[in-house]
Amino acid sequence: MKTLVSLVPLFPLLGFLIVALNVRKLTHGVTAFIACGAVLVSFILSVVLFTHLLGLPADQRVLEVTLFDWIKAGNFSTSISFLVDPLSSLFLLIITGVGFLIHVYSIGYMHDDAGFNRFFSYLNLFVFFMLLLVMGANYLLMFVGWEGVGLCSYLLIGFWFKNQAYNNAANKAFIMNRIGDLGMLLGVILIFVYFGSIQYTDVFAKATTIDTGTLTLITMLLFVGAMGKSAQLPLYTWLPDAMAGPTPVSALIHAATMVTAGIYMIARNNLLYALSPATLEVVMIVGVLTAVFAATIAVKQNDIKKVLAYSTVSQLGLMFLALGLGSFTSGIFHMATHAFFKALLFLGAGSVIHGLGGEQDIRKMGGLKKYLPVTFLTFLVGVLAISGIPPFAGFFSKDEILAAAYLHNPVVYGLALFASLLTVFYMFRMFFLTFFGQERAGHDVMHHIHESPKSITIPLTVLAVLSLVGGFMGVPEALGGSHWLASYLAPVFAPSAAVTSGHHHLSHSTEYALMGTVVALTVVLIVFAYIRYVKGNRVPAADTQVGGVQKVLANKYYVDEIYHAIVVKPLYWISATFAEIVERLGVDKLVNLIGGSVVPASRGARLLQNGSIGYYIFVMVISIVLILAMGIIR
C-alpha cells in the first residue's frame, strides 16, 4: 500500500514530461489520452488509498512513506517523504477527481487551440505540484508544491501570451503571490529555528513546549502565505484578473487546486493555530471581512467569469472564517462542497462562452436556456448549491459555518449571513440574466449557438450530481445524520481539540430556527431577483451610466487604482531612480571607465607591433644591450 502512495503524484509528473518533451510531435488525441489518463490513474490510486484508510481504526489512519534523504547540511536534514491521512486523502480525491473532469472538459474547450499540447502539459504539472503540496510530510515539500502551483498558475493565466493584458494578469498573480510566499518562507524558517525540524510529526510533538508569542509569530507568517495563495484581503486582487486564462484554468485554480492551498495549510497546522488564539482571531476577522467585501463587489459585476471570481474570494472568506472560529471541520467541509459547485459553475460559464463565441458580458446574453439545455440545468444545480438551498451540497456546509459564527459572536454571524445572502442574490442575478429574458446577443451569434460537445457536458453532469449529493457526507445530527466527515477527520483535528476548551453545540430547536430563517430569506431573494430580472426584464446599465455606490461597487472599490497609486507607482519611481543613479551613473560609468582606459592602452601596445623589420631589429639590439649592461653591473 505504501508503494501506491508514491505513485499518486508520479503519474501526472510523467504525463507532463511525456507531453512537454514531445509537444510538437504528439497529436491532440494522443496528448489528451496521456494527460487525462495520468490524472485518472492518480484518482484511482487515491480512491484505493482512501478506501484503505476507511478500513483502519481511526487512530491508525496514517500512511507515511520516506523515499530517500533529500538534504543534509549541518544540523538540518530533510527527506522526500509523503503523508496520507484523512485530511490529505480527502484533498487527493478532490484534486485528482475534479482535476480529471477539468482535463476531460478541456478536450472539447481547447480542441481548436494551437497550444493544445502545451496546455495539457501545464495542467498535468499543476496537478503534480498540488499533489506534492498536500502529500508532503514536511514543510519544505509543501513549500515546493506551494511555489510550483504558483508557477503553473502564471503559465496558465498567461497561456495566450500574445495578448499583453493576459501577460499583465499573469505577472500580477505571480508577484502578489510572491508577497504572501515571503511570509510563508519566513514562517518555515522560524519553525526550523525553534523546533529543530521541519517534519510535521516532530513539530506537532513539540508544539506545546513552545511559548505562545513564538507560535503566534510563526502562525501569523504562515497566514500571510495563505492570504496570498487563497486570495484574502488585502492580497486578493490577483484572482479576479486570473480570468484572463482559459476557462478550464479558472476552474482548476478556483475550485480544485491553488486557492485551497491556504485552507489546507492552516488545517494541517491546526494544533499550532489552536495554541495561537490571537492568530485565530485575525484569521476569523480577515475571513469574514473578505467574504462581505467580495460579495458586495460581485453584486455589480457583469462579466460572468468575474462574478464567479469574486464569488470564489467570498466563499474562501467563509472557509477562513470557519478556520478562525476553530471549526476546522466546517472549513474543510465547505472547501469540499465548494470544489464541486464552483468547478461546475466555472465550467458551465465556459460552456456558455464557448456557445456564444467568446462573449462574457451577461448583459449581452439572455434566453439561452432553450439553446443550451444541459448547460442550463447543470448551471442551475450549481447556483442552487452555492446559494445553500436544501438538499444541495452548499446548504449543509454553509449552515455549519453560520452555526459556528452564531455561537461565537452575533456581529460575526450577522456579517457571515449578509455575505451568504448577497451570494444568493448575485448568483441568481447572473443566472437569470444569462438564461432567461430576451435574447440580447446578436442575430449571427444566436443563429450559430448550439449545445457544447459531450466532452464538455459529461463533466458538467458529473459535477452537478456531486453538487447535489456532496453535502450528505456532513449531515448534522439535527437532521438525523451523524456527520460522517467530522468523524473521518477527527484524528487529524484531535490535537487542537485537546488543547482548546471544546466547542459548544446549538440545541436542535435553535438550529432548526436558524436553518429556517436562512432558507426563508434565501427564497425571498430568489423571488426578488426573478421579479427584477425576469418579470421586469431589467438589464444592468452600462458601467459609464451608473453613479454613487453602484459606481464604487462596479469599480471594485477602486482597490486596484489605490494599489497602483500607493504601491506600484512609488516602486516604479524607486526603480527608475536606482536605474539612473546605480545603473547609469554607477555601473555604466565604471564599465565605460574600464573600457575607456583599455582602448588607449591597447593603442599603445599596438605600437610595438607596427610591421617594420627595422623597428624590430632596433628593439632586439636595445634589448641585448640592456641585458649585457645588467650582467656587467652585477
**Which pLDDT score, from 0 to 100, does residue 48 have?**
97
Burial of residue 179, with CB atoms counted within 10 A of its CB: 0-12 exposed, 13-18 middle, 19 or more buried: middle
**Which pLDDT score, from 0 to 100, does residue 608 have?**
65
Mean pLDDT of 68-97: 94
**Which pLDDT score, from 0 to 100, does residue 610 have?**
67
pLDDT band for 603, please (50, 70, 90 cuts).
confident
Task: Answer whether residue 510 shows pLDDT above 80.
Answer: yes
Mean pLDDT of 65-84: 92
d(CA 252, CA 99): 7
Task: Answer whether residue 545 shows pLDDT above 80.
Answer: no
d(CA 391, CA 238): 33
SS3 214: helix
Task: Answer whether residue 4 shows pLDDT above 90.
Answer: yes
**Which pLDDT score, from 0 to 100, does residue 503 have?**
61
Task: Answer whether residue 57 shows pLDDT above 80.
Answer: yes
d(CA 105, CA 350): 10
pLDDT band for 397, please (50, 70, 90 cuts).
very high
Task: Answer whether residue 173 shows pLDDT above 90.
Answer: yes
pTM of the model: 0.91
Comparing 210-214, 532-536, 588-592, the range with the smallest average pLDDT is 588-592
Comparing 39-43, 58-62, 141-145, 412-416, the range with the smallest average pLDDT is 58-62
Burial of residue 414, with CB atoms counted within 10 A of its CB: 0-12 exposed, 13-18 middle, 19 or more buried: middle
**Whole-number mean pLDDT of the chain?**
92
Mapped to the 3 state alphabet, what secondary structure does 384-426 carry?
Answer: HHHHCCCCCHHHHHHHHHHHHHHHHCHHHHHHHHHHHHHHHHH
Task: Answer whether residue 386 shows pLDDT above 90.
Answer: yes
Contact between residue 375 and residue 355 where contact means Cβ atoms under 8 Å apart: yes
**Which pLDDT score, from 0 to 100, does residue 444 have?**
78
pLDDT band for 448, please (50, 70, 90 cuts).
confident
pLDDT tens by residue, 37-56:
999 999 999 999 999 999 99
**Which pLDDT score, from 0 to 100, does residue 98 have?**
95
pLDDT tens by residue, 333-378:
999 999 999 999 999 999 999 999 889 999 999 999 999 999 999 9
Task: Answer whether residue 551 shows pLDDT above 70.
Answer: yes
Task: Answer whether residue 91 shows pLDDT above 80.
Answer: yes
Rg (CA), the chain: 30
